[in-house]
Amino acid sequence: MSEEHDNPEEITDEEIAISNRGIIINDSPILDKTDPVVVEEAQDELITEEISDEKIHRITPTQLDERLARGEEGKDETEELPPERKEYTFYKPKHDLVFLPGTGGNFFATQIYDKLAPSLVGIFEYNERINEYSVKQTLSHLSINGTSRSNVVSEIRKIPQRLQYIHDYIYDMQLSRGINKYDWLLNELGNSLLVTHRLTQFDIQNIAFSDFLISKNSDNFTLEDEMRLMGDLRVGEFYDNLHDLFYHHYEAHLFPYMTDICHIPYHLNTFKHSKKPLKNYQYACIISNEQCLYTQLLQMVKHALRNKTINDSDVRQIREFVEKFTDSRHATYEHVMSKMYSEMNTIGINDIYSHHYYYREMILDVDEDRWGDFFHFFGFSEYFWLNKTRLIDNVHQYHSKNIDLLLNFVTKREIELLMYPITSNIRHR
């Protein structure tokens, strides 16, 4: 060491760097430059730091999938791949009610939430003219508590670009379909994106994705159509973002479980891979099964009776439907088998998350124990057994009024035949 610097404390950082062959270890004590092991370790650390800062960067799931689809071409060996997702989770248990239109699902919803009806004014409605119950989809949205909204906000603020991805997907899908039914949702998302740096739970209180999920599918736009229109990779990333930012955190303040009332189970409607299970998730299926002809007829009759004046075309359509199946056992069997198979796939009857409740045992040949199990599934078992007489009377009354509606168009014999098309002892014409 030179005479100019007898005091080690006066040695400059620059000189230390030179004497250590250009290696500077931040926030570390001065190393022994004569120890080759120390020097080699320091060089390795410097190289690692340089690569981390300049070359290694994370790629999104979409970019990863695109590269895997191309094979090894264009792959950067220095890229750090994100860990593969093993499962999807919900912070709190989610129990949904799943049914196809016409199977009385809204009546079932009013039954299980009978206890909460006074707290949910305007959510449940009843049309006496057609004995039709309705439940607004905002039921689940209004039940989300402040804690879960705060957790959603925290997740969004980590990576605001994920919310932008959700917005852009809905915008592009709507534009491609030539519709504007989701402008309200895009406006809410857009407002939140403007303030992501200071986002609060009040900024997301009107973002109701349950409305989007139940309405995006129809006879003219199926799940398969969505995949073809938007592409598998983009669809998958959109629903992953939707789950991670929102649905994972949802928790209800009124219900024992977070609940959506829907026609397609969450995991099917949001394209979750069968090999990546959902935790804390189950749903109750209302299954028409053999009674699909009866529920279809009931749906047609109620549609015709919605108007004050019944159209001749509606009457003709109903009569043609009934006579088709009362005239031919073969046509009846073929139609029922086709409907049962379609229902099984649409609402995921065979999936491990599903609990089965058949229309026959719940409405036609009422089984009180099955109703008890149904209420237990949604966390209201005690309430059911304390109010069993009134709740079961509701079921009998609902069914009786439906029969009265059908008698405006068909005979008792025809009703019986379509009610039990395979097991009925009544002969076809």
Model pLDDT for residues 368-386, shown as the tens digit of each residue? 999 999 999 999 999 999 9
Beta strands 88-99 and 354-358 are unpaired
- 415's CB contacts (< 8 A; 6+ apart) are 294, 403, 406, 407
Measure the CA–CA gap between 421 and 291, rounded to whole angstroms: 8
SS3 content of the chain, % helix, strand, coil (to 5): 55, 10, 35
Average pLDDT over residues 220-243: 95
Model pLDDT for residues 184-206, shown as the tens digit of each residue? 999 999 999 999 989 999 999 99
Say if residues 163 and 245 touch (Cβ distance below 8 Å): yes
So what's the pLDDT on residue 244? 97
pTM score: 0.79
Q: Which residue has the higher pLDDT, 2 or 104?
A: 104
Measure the CA–CA gap between 101 and 353, rounded to whole angstroms: 21
For 29, list phi and psi in degrees, rounded to 5. Answer: -65, 160
Average pLDDT over residues 393-398: 98
- Could you give the dihedral angle defined by the CA atoms of residues 18, 20, 23 and 24, in that order, rounded to the nearest 10 degrees? -80
For 423, list phi and psi in degrees, rounded to 5. Answer: -95, -5
- 233 and 285 share a domain? no
Q: How many helices (H) and strands (E) would you count in the chain?
A: 20, 6
375, part of any domain: yes
CA atoms within 13 A on the CB side of 210: 22
For 294, list phi and psi in degrees, rounded to 5. Answer: -65, -45
So what's the pLDDT on residue 327? 87
Measure the CA–CA gap between 251 and 94, rounded to whole angstroms: 9
- 228 and 279 share a domain? no
- 305 and 272 share a domain? yes
74, part of any domain: no
Given CA atoms 26, 30, 31, 34 in this order, what sign does their dihedral have?
A: positive
Measure the CA–CA gap between 184 and 129, rounded to whole angstroms: 32
**Structural Rg of the chain based on CA atoms:** 31
- 135 and 261 share a domain? yes
- 127 and 169 share a domain? no
Q: Give how far the C-alpha of residue 400 lies from the chain's centroid of Cα atoms, to the nearest Å.
A: 34
- 409's CB contacts (< 8 A; 6+ apart) are 301, 304, 315, 318, 319, 322
Q: Last residue of some domain: 226, 251, 276? A: 251
**Per-residue exposure over 244-255, b if at least 16 CB sit within 10 Å of its own CB, e if not:** bbbbbbbbbeeb
- 101 and 166 share a domain? no
- Residue 241 pLDDT > 90: yes
How many domains does one find in the chain?
3
How does the average pLDDT of the chain come out, rounded?
84
Q: Read off the tokens for 29.
A: 């004590």
- 377 and 237 share a domain? no
Q: Last residue of some domain: 204, 223, 251? A: 251
62, part of any domain: no
Say if residues 100 and 119 touch (Cβ distance below 8 Å): no
- Residue 52 pLDDT > 90: no
- Residue 93 pLDDT > 90: yes
Residue ranges making up the domain that contains 244 = 153-251
Q: Last residue of some domain: 203, 227, 251? A: 251
- 236 and 328 share a domain? no
- Residue 426 pLDDT > 70: no
- Residue 72 pLDDT > 70: no
Full DSSP string of 91-115 = EEEEEEEEE-TTS-HHHHHHHHTGG
- Residue 13 pLDDT > 70: no
Say if residues 23 and 30 touch (Cβ distance below 8 Å): no
- 239 and 381 share a domain? no
Measure the CA–CA gap between 218 and 225, rounded to whole angstroms: 10
| Of 297, 315, 319, 328, nearest in space to 419 by CA | 297
How would residue 99 be classed by pLDDT, with cut points 50, 70 and 90? very high
- 180 and 270 share a domain? no
401, part of any domain: yes
